[in-house]
C-alpha cells in the first residue's frame, strides 16, 4: 500500500500545495493540526490506523511533500525515519528530493548522510541558542548585578535561576514558537511563559 501524508497547522491553511500528483496512491491523509502533535497521534493518521498498517507490513511506501511533515523537529523526524526504515517502509520526500530506500529496497546512503547532517545542524543550533542565552545572562550579571542577585529569604527567585530552570521554554521561544504551544510542550502555565518573555526582553535591552 502507498500512502501520501500531508499536514497543515490550521483549518484556514490550504493543503493543495502539498498534495499535487498523488495519483496512484491508495490513501492520501490530510491532517490539520499543530506540528507539535506527534506523527502517529495526528487525528486522521489515528483514524485511518496508519501506525497499525505500518506495523503489520501493509504499508510499503510513505511519501511527503517536505521532510518536516514527519515531525516537529529534526530529532523527531530522524526517529520516525529510522523506525520506518527498520520496518522496510520506503519513505520518499519530494522537497528536497531524497528517500530512505531505493527501488530495490536498499538503503539510500546519500539520503542517510543528508539526514545526519541535518541532525548535526539541529543539535548545533540548539547549543548556540543556549550558549547565546547564557552569555547574555553572564553579561547582565556583570553590568547589572542587582538584577541577578542570589535569592534571599522571602524574596523572589533570581533571574538566572529562573531562566536556567526554564531553559527549554527559552529554547522554543527563541525558535519563534507561540506561547500556547510552548506551554503545552513544556507543561508550564502561560503566566510562566509571560515571565520568561519579560526576562528575555530585559536581557535584550541590556545587550
Edge-to-edge strand order for the sheet containing 98-99?
27-32, 2-8, 61-66, 90-95, 98-99
* Of 76, 107, 138, the domain-final residue: 107
* pLDDT at 57 (0 to 100): 94
Q: Tell me phi and psi for residue 138, to 5 degrees.
A: -65, -40
Q: Return the closest-CA partner of residue 25 out of 6, 2, 55, 59.
A: 2
Note whether residue 75 is domain-resident: yes
100 plus 170 within the same structural domain = no
Question: Do residues 155 and 99 share a domain?
Answer: no
Instruction: Tell me the whole-structure pTM to 2 decimals.
Output: 0.57
45 domain-assigned: yes
CATH of the domain at 71: 3.40.50.1390
Q: Are residues 90 and 132 in the same domain?
A: no
SS3 118: helix
Residues 80 and 140 in one domain: no
Identify the helix (H) or strand (E) that includes residue 99. Answer: strand 98-99
Q: Is residue 118 part of a domain?
A: no
Q: Are residues 68 and 142 in the same domain?
A: no
- For residue 169, what are the CA distances in angstroms to 9, 132, 143, 164, 194? 21, 15, 25, 10, 11
Note whether 100 and 176 are same-domain residues.
no
Q: Is 136 inside any structural domain? A: yes
pLDDT: is 171 or 143 the higher one? Answer: 171
Phi, psi of 56 (to 5 degrees): -90, 5
Q: How many domains does the chain have?
A: 2
Domain span holding position 174: 124-206
Q: What is the mean pLDDT of the chain?
A: 81
The pLDDT of residue 77 is above 80: yes
Q: Which three cell numbers stand for residue 88?
A: 522496510
Q: Is residue 34 in some structural domain?
A: yes
Instruction: Give the span between the Cα atoms of 100 and 109, in whole angstroms.
Output: 8
pLDDT of 147 strictly over 80: no
Q: Within the chain, how many helices (H) and strands (E) appear? A: 8, 5
Q: 177 versus 157: which is more confidently predicted?
A: 177
What is residue 107's DSSP assignment?
B
CA 27 → CA 5, 42, 53, distances in Å?
8, 15, 12
Do 128 and 54 lie in one domain? The reply is no
Grid cell in block for residue 42: 495526528
Residue 144 has pLDDT above 60, yes or no: yes
- Are 83 and 28 contained in the same domain? yes
Same domain flag for 98 and 147: no
Same domain? 94 vs 132: no
Amino acid at each position: 500500500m502507498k500512502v501520501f501524508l500531508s499536514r497543515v497547522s490550521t483549518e484556514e491553511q490550504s493543503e493543495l500545495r502539498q498534495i499535487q500528483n498523488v495519483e496512484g496512491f491508495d490513501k492520501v491523509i490530510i491532517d490539520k493540526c499543530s506540528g507539535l502533535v506527534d506523527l502517529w497521534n495526528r487525528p486522521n493518521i489515528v483514524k485511518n490506523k496508519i501506525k497499525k498498517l505500518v506495523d503489520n507490513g501493509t504499508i510499503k511506501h510513505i511519501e511527503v511533500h517536505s521532510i518536516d511533515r514527519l515531525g516537529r523537529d529534526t530529532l523527531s523526524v530522524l526517529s520516525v525515519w529510522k523506525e520506518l526504515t527498520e520496518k522496510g517502509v520506503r519513505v520518499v520526500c519530494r522537497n528536497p528530493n531524497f528517500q530512505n530506500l531505493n527501488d530495490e529496497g536498499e538503503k539510500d546512503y546519500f539520503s542517510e548522510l543528508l539526514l545526519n547532517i541535518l541532525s548535526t545542524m539541529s543539535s548545533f543550533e540548539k547549543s548556540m541558542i543556549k550558549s547565546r542565552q547564557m552569555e547574555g545572562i553572564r553579561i547582565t550579571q556583570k553590568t547589572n548585578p542587582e538584577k541577578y542577585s542570589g535569592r534571599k529569604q522571602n524574596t523572589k527567585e533570581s533571574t538566572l535561576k529562573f531562566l536556567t530552570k526554564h531553559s527549554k521554554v527559552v529554547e522554543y521561544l527563541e525558535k519563534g514558537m507561540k506561547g500556547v504551544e510552548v506551554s503545552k510542550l513544556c507543561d508550564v502555565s502561560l503566566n510562566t511563559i509571560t515571565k520568561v518573555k519579560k526576562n528575555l526582553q530585559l536581557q535584550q535591552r541590556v545587550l
